[in-house]
Amino acid sequence: MQYQGPDAADLMNVFVLNDAFIVWQRTRPADESRERGLAPETRARLGDLGCEQRERLARTPFLLMSLAEDDEARWQSLFTERRTRDLLQCLQIRDEVASGLIAAGLGFLWQLARRNPYATRLVSGASLKWCEQLSACTLMDLFARALEDQTLLAPRMADNTDLWHRLLTAGVSNRRHVRLAARVSAMQSMLIERPGRAYRPLAAAACRMPPVKTRKSGSRGT
Residue 25 counted as domain residue? yes
Q: Is residue 222 part of a domain?
A: no
Q: Indicate the burial class of 35 (C-beta count within 10 angstroms; 0-12, 13-18, 19 or more).
A: exposed
Q: How many CB atoms lie within 10 A of CB 79?
A: 18
pTM over 0.85: no
Q: Please indicate whether residue 208 or residue 156 has the higher confidence score (pLDDT).
A: 156
Judge whether residue 206 has pLDDT over 90. Answer: no
Q: How many CB atoms lie within 10 A of CB 19?
A: 16
In a domain, 217, yes or no: no
User: Is 188 domain-assigned?
Assistant: yes
Q: What is the tally of structural domains in the chain?
A: 1
Q: Is residue 97 part of a domain?
A: yes
pLDDT at 217: 46
Summarised one tens digit per residue, pLDDT across range 70-104 is 898 889 888 887 555 554 455 555 678 888 999 99
Q: Domain residues for 163?
A: 3-212
- pLDDT, residue 1, reads 42
219 occurs within a structural domain = no
Categorise residue 106: left if φ over 0, alpha if ψ from -120 to 50, beta otherwise: alpha
The helices-and-strands tally (H runs, E runs) of the chain is 10, 4
Residue 221 is assigned to a structural domain of this protein: no
Q: Which of 43-47, 121-125, 211-215 has the lowest mean pLDDT?
A: 211-215
Residue 69 domain flag: yes
Confidence of residue 221 (pLDDT cuts 50, 70, 90): low
pLDDT of residue 141: 85
Supply the pLDDT for residue 93: 58
Per-residue buried b or exposed e for 113-146, using 16+ beta carbons within 10 Å of the residue's own CB: beebbbbbbbbbbbbeebbebbbebeeeebbbbb
